[in-house]
Amino acid sequence: MGAPKIFAIVLAGGEGKRLMPLTEDRAKPAVPFGGQYRLIDFALSNLLNSGMTKIVVLTQYKSHSLDRHVSQTWRLSSMLNSYVASVPAQQRLGKRWFSGSADAILQSLNLLRDEKPDIVVVVGADHVYRMDFSQMVEAHTNSGLAVTVAAIRQPIGMADQFGIIDIDPLRPQRIRDFLEKPTNPVGLPDSPQEVLASMGNYVFNADALIDAVTRDGVNPESSHDMGGDIVPDFVRSGQAGVYDLKRNEVPGASDRDRYYWRDVGTIDSFFDAHQDLVSALPVFNLYNNSWPIFSQQLNSPPAKIVRDARGNLGQTIDSIISLGAVISGAHIEKSVIGPWARIGSGSQVRHSVLFDDVVVHHDAIVERAILDKSVIVHANARVGIDHDRDRARGFTVTDSGITVVGKGIEIQP
């Protein structure tokens, strides 16, 4: 028997309301991350590194920048019948958009009928992690079940933040129940202080997936969600298994970042994920060449850190500086600086994330802030220092004190 034919679907239609204003003008998977990447690059890199070369990206919400990024960056060889293709809502079942992730697949079943795969890998587009999906596919095939759900171990005290997978103690690879943000879960048999949280990644037998989303599509009580409706249906029929990320071995992984996974669905988690990147021993290592994270190759000069005309030294501490950025006599600390940013003389950027083309003029201060693309911070301006003033200027300030400035805004002193 030959290897199974595998088809991959990336669910990238999310609106990302909790990431506003970063998603005001773009889909959540298109949000820049780590300097030169977009969030979707992590899912696509994992699939490609896993040997999966027939991939569709189902898009919907404000998808122009996402579609452009996929078309410009993710061009595989047509001679080898390999591709990454964006697929918008096609309205094949009527004049309507996707009403949920399961409905997105239902409306795109023509893609499966064209490819006729044996196995369908379905992943989200907005998580930061590394994973070899070929190992999960092998485990799924060996299980004989219809669906396998990827899961990561989390402290039991954090169970109320995730969808939790309750396993059968006698058959620990089988899902007994799926619990949505439980307050009193039972710990794992081999680790009572941990629970298994769903990662939003699935491996299906193709025929089972087609049948499930077709039945779900005519159910008026369904919310048409993969995690909320489709997977629980398989759980009830005893056909759902779990794949613990702890079984997954990614080449080049370190002990520190081996099982890293972060849902960056909120401003706080997005900010924290960037802080994970910048330490000397990063919690998530972008420099693993054995399992690279691919993205658009920028036609840009190297970053430059120089002394300014006043003799101030440009200084960076525990930071990521992207291509094309120029740091002129400024102090950068615990920050991620995006492509073509300009940081001027005597300014300070601390514990912050700057997107593409941000300009910080001389003697300005940016502290615990996220500045979207093309923001201009004028000379002597302050961002993230006085939260009441930040709110008065219309900026978003989280409860933890992170200031977010939307695309193209000019900040006066």
Instruction: List residues forming the annotated binding site for alpha-D-glucose 1-phosphate.
Output: 163, 180-181, 198
**What residue numbers does the annotated binding site cover?**
163, 180-181, 198
Q: Do 29 and 126 meet the contact criterion of CB atoms below 8 Å apart? A: yes
Residue 364: exposure state from Cβ atoms within 10 A (0-12, 13-18, ≥19): buried
Cα 44 → chain centroid: 10
Residues with Cβ within 8 Å of 308's Cβ and at least 6 positions away in sequence, in order, are 314, 328, 329, 330, 344, 345, 346
Structure tokens at 193: 């202080």
Which two structure tokens, joined as six digits, stand for 316? Answer: 């960076």
Cα–Cα distance measured from residue 362 to residue 378, given in angstroms and rounded to the nearest whole number: 8
Q: Find out whether the peptide bond into 21 is cis, omega within 30 degrees of 0.
A: yes
Helices (H), 74-173: 101-106, 109-115, 133-143
Tokens of 259: 């099982």
Q: Please measure the distance between the N-terminal and C-terminal CA atoms of the chain and give it in whole angstroms.
A: 69
Spatial contact of 319 and 282, defined as CB atoms under 8 Å apart = no
